[in-house]
Structure 1
C-alpha cells in the first residue's frame, strides 16, 4: 500500500539522467533535494496547510 508513495517520493528526487536510465534507477545516485525547496518557494504551501487545518477542524466538529 505504501509502495506508490515511496515511488513518488524517490521519483521526485531523481535527476533527468536517473529518470531515463535503462535499467531504471529507483534510488537516485545524487538526490535533487532542491525540488522540494522550490515547491515551497513557488507555491503557497503554508496557506494551503492552514486551509486544510481549518476545513478538517470544521468537519470534525460537525
Structure 2
C-alpha cells in the first residue's frame, strides 16, 4: 500500500494516528519519509514511521 492508499484507508477507518510498518524493507516499497509525513500532516493525520527493529508502547 502506498502513501495515497494509506491515507484513504486511514480516512475509511477514521484514524488520526497511523503507524507505518514494512516500508523500505525491499527496493520496490521504499518511500520518501518527508513526503509521507507531510501528506499525512496536510490531511490532519499523524504518521509515525517505525524504524526496522524499533518498538513503541501504546497506552
TM-score range, shorter chain: under 0.3
Q: Normalising by structure 1, report the TM-score.
A: 0.22
Q: Normalising by structure 2, report the TM-score.
A: 0.23
| Structure showing greater relative contact order (alpha-carbon pairs closer than 8 Å, 6 or more residues apart) | 2
